[in-house]
A and B are shown apart, each in its own frame.
Chain A
Amino acid sequence: GDSVTQMEGPVTLSEEAFLTINCTYTATGYPSLFWYVQYPGEGLQLLLKATKADDKGSNKGFEATYRKETTSFHLEKGSVQVSDSAVYFCALSDRDNFNKFYFGSGTKLNVKP
């Protein structure tokens, strides 16, 4: 079945460091891929998404490219800020069934000043 695997955290970086959070997926069809972010005490917020191979999602300096050949959707940011500290979830949805979301276990990011 469909599944998502993302790197375990926590990830601790200094401000302005480069960020990569790895995410790989297994899917039988052609899923859409998402990154969600959860700040302390808040709900999950959609950070970016990509709906087909080679698409690049980007938002707030974060970006991820849908790589079908490596079944990956790694999240990157060139220069992190303290305000980026949060938990990041990689997810996929079955294009044939929008109701089905499969989430990774989440990666906590701590950015120190």
Chain B
Amino acid sequence: GAVVSQHPSWVICKSGTSVKIECRSLDFQATTMFWYRQFPKQSLMLMATSNEGSKATYEQGVEKDKFLINHASLTLSTLTVTSAHPEDSSFYICSARGSQGWGRFETQYFGPGTRLLVL
């Protein structure tokens, strides 16, 4: 099946630094990519939707200057947490919307997630 990777799988950083998380679709072209955030024992919450070559659409309450999203190609989207603080510590999951092969239905494929800990 389709594979979406995320890098790094976990990161620890100091408060005030910026952290970049990559999301790649490995064997298909993703028309749209999504970024989710998950707190312990809570639901995945959609943060933003990004389409290749255009600005990301952020959900209400998500700071676009805090969480910078760049969808530079059909296989890569990046999420940069700027000036990270301890409250940004969370599990970040991306998904990519696309299809494998001609005529197949589009669906969403999820990455394994990136655990961020800000000290």
Contact = CB atoms under 8 A, between A and B. Distances in A.
Interface of A: 4, 8, 36, 41-46, 89, 98-106
Contact of A101 (B1, B108, B113): B108
Interface string B92-119: 0101010000000001111111000000
B44 A42 contact: no
B19 interface: no
Contact of A89 (B44, B49, B97): B44
Interface of B: 1, 4, 32, 34, 36, 41-46, 49, 93, 95, 97, 107-113
Most buried by A among B4, B42, B44, B93: B44
18 contacts: A36-B110, A41-B112, A43-B109, A43-B110, A43-B111, A43-B113, A44-B93, A44-B110, A46-B107, A46-B108, A98-B97, A99-B46, A101-B44, A101-B46, A101-B108, A103-B45, A105-B43, A106-B41
Contacts of B36: 103
Given A4-B43, A99-B32, A99-B49, A43 B112 contact: yes
Contacts of A41: 112
Q: Is the interface of B mostly helix, strand, loop or mixed?
A: strand
A99 B42 contact: no
Contacts of A98: 97
A50 to B, nearest CB: 14
A102 B43 contact: yes
Contacts of B34: 99, 101
Given A43-B111, A43-B112, A104 B43 contact: yes
Nearest to A104: B43
Given A43-B4, A44-B93, A103 B43 contact: yes
